[in-house]
Structure 1
Amino acid sequence: MDELEDQKNTQQELQTALNNRLNDTTKVALWTATSYDAYNRPKSILHGSGLLTRNIYSKCNNNLSAIEIGRGGDLINNMSYNYDNHNIINIDNAITDESHGYDYDGMDKII
């Protein structure tokens, strides 16, 4: 499935989940995972506030590569993750233009 088709499917799933949520007066959902990847990790999470979190995983190493949070087309958070062999070494937020780097000791403990 290509990226555009995946986004269309996610959009349809989210619209269905949102409609179900808005029509349901008996349950309170803090969040609902609306789509999963092949490893059963949540790709899209709809929060009770109406915000959508989209988790993007690397096709090369299956690590979480980005998290986008927003409502409609407006992002309020857009973080990307960079790794060394297996540790997060940098998190960049494109919305706030902030970057946080991380260092590890010889036993892979953050310092």
Structure 2
Amino acid sequence: MIELIINNFLDGHISVPVFLERPKKVPERFVLFEKTSSAKRNHINSATFAFQSYAKSMYDAAVLNEELKQVIESIIESDEIASVKLNSDYNFTDTETKEYRYQAVFDFKY
């Protein structure tokens, strides 16, 4: 399952906890990610994932986002991943909860 491959890779390569769903008690800095779409063509799977980097300030969220992008781009070293491409990244501060976060969207082939 691609979610587990990504989660296991991030756990060993990024400086903050990584979650597939929001924990009840959130740490000061963390990454939350989810699959937003997937497809299969010619026996090659593809999926788009949104990664949200949370922190206590906008600056810290932006710094975490940069770390995340570097780590995700290095996942290509994994045998299970055929390609990874940054689709977009941007400030994604939650106006309702007032939590600072950045979002990076990546396209994977596996």
What is the TM-score with the length of structure 2 in the denominator? 0.30
Which has the higher relative contact order, 1 or 2, with Cα contacts under 8 A spaced 6 or more apart?
2
**TM-score under structure 1 length normalisation:** 0.30
Which has more helix, going by share of residues?
Answer: 2
